[in-house]
Amino acid sequence: MGQYSKEQFARFKKTYLENRKALEPKEWCNIKRTLKSEFKHINDDNIDATIIGACQSEQLELAKNYIDFITHSGEQPNDATLGYLLRIYNAKYHSNGSSPESLSDGDQADVLNIWKILTEKHKILDSTLCENLIAGLVTTRRWRDGLELLDMIKITRAPSIFAYTEFILKAFSMKDSSLGWSLFEEMMETIDNSRQPNCKIFLTYLTEVSDGVQDTTSGLEKMLQTLEKYNLLVSVKVIDSIKTLAAAYPNLLQATHCHINYMGKCSNCQLSLQAKTLSNVEFEKLRNSVLKKVVVGGDVFQKSTPKEVNDFLNFVDRTAPYDCVIDGLNVAYSKGKKKPQSLADMLVSVVKHFAEKNKHVLVLGRKHMNKWPKNSVQYVKDNASMFLADNLSQDDPFLLYAALKSGPNTDIFSRDLMRQHAYLLGSELKYIFRQWQQQHQYSLVTKTASGRIVIKEPTRHLVCAHKTESTWHIPYKMQYTLHSSDSFEIPEHWLCLNIKKI
């Protein structure tokens, strides 16, 4: 609400409104006067909504009292005021347990009345009013009528997570799981990829699904499949809820915490986690897009020249397949030294690591690398294929293209997170790219004084919730975060859940 000093407004709330249920008309007039004088941006049009917005979620009576004051002065509350009032009803509903009886009949009638007023006033409602109406309608029995409000929001913007969440929670608590899940999928498709849904959804679902044996297992499976589909990481509260569910049906479900070792093996059930593989189709798509979008991008001159791209494509056709493609400069500069000798040494040690295992590698670099110490450059040339790009060109896209062209088993060696390339591929391919990257990217951790290099290997197993035979392995995090991390850490905490077939 505006950008006035937050502390100032908090003080105002405390002095006048805290813990009050009702105020005299005189006191309301006084408050209005004070507000208008203290805060420059508050005027007659927005003061009503400001005051209602200042009422805490428990202060429903106070808000209603103010509305009465307005009507007694002869005016009607404006749209924004009604909207905020609906939010307070919604907050009360949730604090009373989110059941159909949480709000009194009188209050529910109020809400429906407000709905009638607003829909009669405007043929099409804007997104804020729609969302506030949704918040109000889910407290009543006529919540289904609110679904058309979602479509109304879509005219001007994508519906927010709040709107979807409210409907999903209501659908689950009214035992309409199919509607809930379809809305959930719609939500995941439309919202920003980095935001995660609220864990309340899963908690509500689990409480509803715990009636009846048949429902439990299939319902649980459905939830876990959704987690897998959208690569979601749940919080520990959901895991506790699953465990209580498992305790209620001990002959069907067994849930235990476990650890996954680096080979992908579960410490509890000793099963190996599913290895990540991209399907052929996905791999093809990824490969084609990389050439088009990342190497060439909007303008091939931005990253390279057409001649160079052609030379590179021919080179790769000649010398592929590789076991690993090394980003020469990224590796060389890992330690932060600047002298050509140290740079060349880093590269040599990495190439040696692979050469000793008789692997065929491709090293990408730039033309100025020819100026490095001759022995090192010669060693690299003898033990690997080497392609040097122009000093003006970007070499990362070449790296990705070479690795993808040479096949699904080729790894890359770089510390670069490649975020900008992931972005360029577009949202659906971004996910595939990230999977491929997690599975195939080696990175150099450090080089010890003795000359040995420490490498971080890629994780070959899936890191989302998935099923192997009849056991689900579910990763979770200790705290709910609004945004999913785009990181490359494998989750530390896992739950091993065995679901017996009936």
Partner 1 sequence: MFNKLTTIKNCIVLLPRKTVEFKRSLQSKSSQVITEAVCADQNHVENSTNPFAVNKKFKANMLENEKEDLESFLSATNTDNKMGRPAISPEERERRLKVLQLEAEVARQEGKRVPTLDSLKDHHWDQIIAMPSRSARMRLYSFLWRNAAIAESKKIKKQEKAAGAQERIEAIRKERAENPHIVYGLGNVSMFLRVYDTTINHWMNHRLIRAMMFSPKIVLDCSYDNQMDRREAENAAKQLMLCFAENRAHDDPFDLHYCNVDLESACMKRLQSFIPTMLNPDFPMNIHSECFTEIFPKDNIDCQKDLETYNADDVYVIGAMVDKRHAEPLSLAKAKRLGLRVARLPLDRYLQWGSGSGKSLTLNQMVNILLDLKKTGDWVTSLKHVPRRKVIDSKERLASFYEKQKNKVNVRVDKIFDDDNAIFKPVNSVRSHKKYLKFNLSTWGSKK
Site for partner 1, rule CB under 8 A: 1-3, 41-42, 45-46, 48-50, 53, 78-81, 83-84, 122-129, 155-157, 297-299, 301-303, 305, 329-330, 333, 366-368, 390-392, 394-396, 415-417, 419-420, 423-424
For residue 315, the minimal CB distance to partner 1 (Å) is 20
Q: Which is nearer to partner 1, 116 or 229 (CB)?
A: 116
State in angstroms the smallest separation of the CB of 419 from partner 1: 5
Burial status of residue 144 (CB atoms within 10 A of its CB: 0-12, 13-18, 19 or more): middle
Nearer to partner 1, 237 or 415 (CB): 415
Of 100 and 373, the one with the shorter C-beta distance to partner 1 is 373
Q: 45 — alpha (psi -120 to 50), left (phi > 0) or beta?
A: alpha
Structure tokens at 70: 């307005």
Residue 83 or 475: which CB sits closer to partner 1?
A: 83
A 10 A CB-CB count for 489 gives 8
**Closer residue to partner 1 (CB): 129 or 169:** 129
Which helix (DSSP H) or strand (DSSP E) does residue 446 occupy? strand 441-447
Which H or E run contains 455? strand 453-456
Q: Which of 209, 243, 214, 212 is nearest to 226 (CA)?
A: 209
CB of 417 to partner 1, least distance (A): 8
Q: At its nearest, how many Å lie between partner 1 and the CB of residue 129?
A: 6
Residue number, 231 or 305, with CB nearest to partner 1: 305
Closest CA to 411 of 489, 359, 352, 334: 359
Q: SS3 string of 347-409?
A: HHHHHHHHHCCCCCEEEEEEHHHHHCCHHHHHHHHHHCEEEEECCCCCCHHHHHHHHHHHCCC
Closest approach, Cβ 455 to partner 1, in A, equals 17
* Smallest distance, partner 1 to C-beta of residue 418, A: 9
Nearer CB in complex with partner 1: 180/328: 328
Smallest separation, CB 297 to partner 1 (Å): 7
| Torsion sign over Cα 362, 363, 366, 369 | negative
Is residue 326 within 8 Å of residue 406, measured between CB atoms?
no
How near is the Cβ of 3 to partner 1 at its closest, in Å? Answer: 7
Which single residue is written with the structure tokens 């109020």?
A: 110
Question: CA-CA distances (angstroms) from residue 425 to 172, 188, 412, 430?
Answer: 36, 19, 18, 6
Nearer to partner 1, 7 or 469 (CB): 7
Gap between the Cα atoms of 38 and 54, Å rounded = 15
